Amino acid sequence: MTKEALCAAAIAARQHAYAPYSSCLVGAALLAADGSVYTGCNVENASYGATLCAERTAFAKAISEGNRQFTMLAVAGSEGNEINGGFPPCGICRQVIAEFCEPDFTVLVVTAPDTYKEYTLSELLPAAFRLS
Ligand code: THU
């Protein structure tokens, strides 16, 4: 799958965002080594801390279906409808990505409907906390 196609899957996943409190619509698409794609959206809650980010929704879907080998993640988020600027993963999501992915793992942040910025996990989370 191309990077552009993974970004398109993340954009499509935003359709399902449940965000009555923030109006931030976030979608994620996680590409597994076997070619499977797991999508996720943010799922908010009246008890704000119970909110799930799109990235963690996608990881939970993959892990719970037995897939733990990942090659790339795309994230598309915005305040309101228009994607302009991009939503890099929050700190908690970066830590969750680090649980399953190597430092050179690729994260694509969609910055407009047809553009993205590319990061490695180590750029987003240097000196990640890991247990041996
Ligand atoms: N959000 C995500 O889905 N992913 C992130 O990495 C950053 C934040 C969501 C959570 C909440 O529903 C909204 O964006 C505002 O924080």
Residue 118 lies in a domain: yes
Residue 107 lies in a domain: yes
- Count of structural domains, the chain: 1
Domain extent, residue 95, equals: 3-124
Q: Which atom of ligand 1 is nearest to the CA of 44?
A: 12
For the chain, percent of residues with pLDDT exceeding 70: 100
Residue 7 lies in a domain: yes
- 1 Cβ contact list (under 8 Å, min separation 6): 31, 35, 37
Residue 12 lies in a domain: yes
CATH number at residue 8: 3.40.140.10
- 5-43 per-position pLDDT tens digit: 999 999 999 999 999 999 999 999 999 999 999 999 999
Distance 26 CA to ligand 1 centre (A): 6
Distance 130 CA to ligand 1 centre (A): 23
| CA-proximal residue: ligand 1, atom 14 (nearest) | 24
Residue 130 lies in a domain: no
Residue 132 lies in a domain: no
